Structure 1
Amino acid sequence: MRTAGTVTGAVPRPGLRERKKQRTRDALVRAALELFATRGYEGTTVDDIAAAADVSQRTFFRYFASKEEVTFFVPRLAESHVVEAVRGRPPGEAPLETLRRAVLDSWDDIHATIEQLVPLDLHLRVYRVIESTPALLAAHLRRATELEEELARIIAEREGLDLDADPRPRVLVAAFGGVIRVTERLWSAGDDISVAAMHDLMAAYLDRLGPALAENWRTDRAPDRRTET
């Protein structure tokens, strides 16, 4: 029997204590990213972040273990959307198309989620900070490797393959991840750091991944005389 005033299947709203914790966490994320974008990562301390969020240093460490962890909070949120998008793609879809569509089709949802936490332009500016800070770039690449392994396992499961016996899922995801890294680097070094510019660049490079791996690139290549009879 359904109680009056309730909706079957509705997600319960977080309690007051949980909402307060979420607001504090979000305030720390926004404060940290604003400081990183203006002062730089190395020019910002945990005390600076705590003060900007109007909390104590002790409170900061209740939510984040380090500056690095708070830096990557939003990118990790975006990555989780991509992982779930890959899981939700139609069965039978070609693996490369699954990865491509998971990124491009969930683009708007990812950025809507980000904007609930921080302004999108701030998130994009911090991407430049990550690219130009060696310690952050190293952490970003380390996490990218972990993400590739997670995606390779999902692809292997979708295709009914043994990941440790069949190299194709890891090879494909590594190539796909390489395209993402190239587009991030080119976008962050360019003059236009808008969301539209990143989307268009990523779509263009992902569209060329399959042909780049399969085609003969040189149009002036001489015929292989060994194949002639």
Structure 2
Amino acid sequence: MALPLTPSRTGQPASDCRVLGLRERKKQRTRDSLVAAAHGLFLRQGYARTTVDEIAANVDVSQRTFFRYFANKEEVALAVLADAEDYFVECLRRRPAEETPLQAMRASITQTWQVMSRDEGSGPGGVQAALELIDLIESTPMLLAAHLRRTIEQEGVVTAILAEREGLDPATDVRPRVLAAAFGAVIRVSHLSWTADTAAHAAGPDGMIAIIERHLDQLGPALAGPWRS
């Protein structure tokens, strides 16, 4: 798998997939194959026209096997970005305590894109697949709705992490929730800007990182500065 810090996928922390047993490695390969097959089918014939049976048949597994890994077609479609988002969350948890909230989030999103770029071709979670999925989401209302639902859920997770880092109560201090929501909005706007920017598009992950950095520079000092008095 391209993104190593996703314990929810393998039950293992960090990136050492070598310690996985044979059964776990086989399960990971099956999951990766389902994600790759679904992604290819969605791009070739569209999301609506692709069925779970077709995805499973491409990997030579049963529909029942598919549903061991994914609850529905939406979940397998969004898996590439979902894994990247999970990786971002794990990076954020590990950032040094002396960083401001925005510094920690910037470093985490940059690391996520860099790892995806470095591991391109080693699994279905590479940069090219992520960028293709971004385009697919924006042109597919069902996927866009599902992606936005997940984004809202992730905002809650990020809010909790930021509040814990800073020793704040998010019920009474709105800054963790506001920053989580603002950061999510910046990332989506960056995705849209990347799609429309030919030069950034051609630059791949470096172009995406540059756009994200430029947009984050525009966040106000009230969110960007230190929060601890």
Structure 1 and Structure 2 fold alike (TM over 0.5):
yes
TM-score of Structure 1 vs Structure 2, range by shorter chain: 0.7 to 0.9
Partner residue of 2:123 out of 117, 123, 141: 117
Q: Separation in 1 of the partners of 2:20 and 2:160? A: 33
Structure-1 residue corresponding to 2:11: none
Structure-2 residue corresponding to 1:61: 67
Secondary structure, in 3 states, of the residue corresponding to 1:18? helix
Q: Which has the larger radius of gyration?
A: 1
2:103 is the counterpart of 1:97? yes
Identity over aligned pairs, percent: 51
Partner residue of 2:93 out of 87, 97, 105: 87
Q: Compute the displacement of 1:114 (Å).
A: 6.3
Specify the code of the residue in structure 1 equivalent to 2:40: E
Q: Compute the displacement of 1:41 (Å).
A: 0.7
Q: Separation in 1 of the partners of 2:69 and 2:144? A: 22
Secondary structure, in 3 states, of the residue corresponding to 1:162? coil
TM-score (norm 2): 0.81
Q: Compute the displacement of 1:15 (Å).
A: 2.4
Q: Compute the displacement of 1:150 (Å).
A: 0.9
Secondary structure, in 3 states, of the residue corresponding to 1:208? coil
Q: Compute the displacement of 1:115 (Å).
A: 4.1
Specify the code of the residue in structure 2 equivalent to 1:195: P
C-alpha distance 49-149 of structure 1, shift in aligned 2 (>3 A): same
Partner residue of 1:14 out of 17, 20, 24: 20
Partner residue of 1:134 out of 103, 124, 141: 141
Specify the code of the residue in structure 2 equivalent to 1:67: K
User: How many residues are aligned here?
Assistant: 205
Task: Report which structure shows greater RCO (CA 8 Å, sep ≥6).
Answer: 2
Secondary structure, in 3 states, of the residue corresponding to 2:183? helix
TM-score (norm 1): 0.81
Partner residue of 1:203 out of 213, 220, 229: 213
C-alpha distance 162-133 of structure 1, shift in aligned 2 (>3 A): same
2:29 is the counterpart of 1:23? yes
Q: Compute the displacement of 1:113 (Å).
A: 5.2
Partner residue of 1:144 out of 148, 151, 176: 151
Q: Separation in 1 of the partners of 2:128 and 2:164? A: 36
Structure 1 unmatched runs, 5+: 1-9, 215-229
